[in-house]
Amino acid sequence: MTQATAPVDPDPRFLEFLEKSHAIAGEKVAAAIPREYMQPSVWRGFAGFAVSLSLYVAAIVGMAVLDRWYLVPPLVVVILMQRWFVKGLVDTEK
């Protein structure tokens, strides 16, 4: 019977990631994000809404057309996530 072994030495990429994480620990990460991404944009909002709506409709159509039982749970997850996201968008506008 084979025995599971845990890695002894961490991968160099993981060590590099840890070093970079510790280097920015006290920094303001929000300052690294460009200002134009922080400003609300009507067109970006409409684009996000259109993507969410299209995913929502596609999942509903997928459930109606496809009769594969193994596709139902992922499609239900997509539908619920999109409803939650769109509901959040609409609720924040009030």
Classified as helix, coil or strand, 30 is helix
Q: How many CB atoms lie within 10 A of CB 56?
A: 18
| Res 66 pLDDT > 70 | yes
Asked if residue 52 is part of any domain, the answer here is yes
Residue 76 within a domain: yes
With cut-offs at 50, 70 and 90, classify the pLDDT of residue 87.
Answer: low
What's the domain count of the chain? Answer: 1
Q: What is the mean pLDDT of residues 45-74?
A: 84
Tell me if 58 is assigned to some domain. Answer: yes
Q: Confirm whether 87 is domain-assigned.
A: yes
7 lies in some domain: no
At 17-52, the pLDDT tens digits run 888 877 777 667 777 677 777 788 888 888 888 888
Domain that holds residue 23: 12-92
Within-domain flag for 2:
no
For residue 76, the model assigns a pLDDT of 86
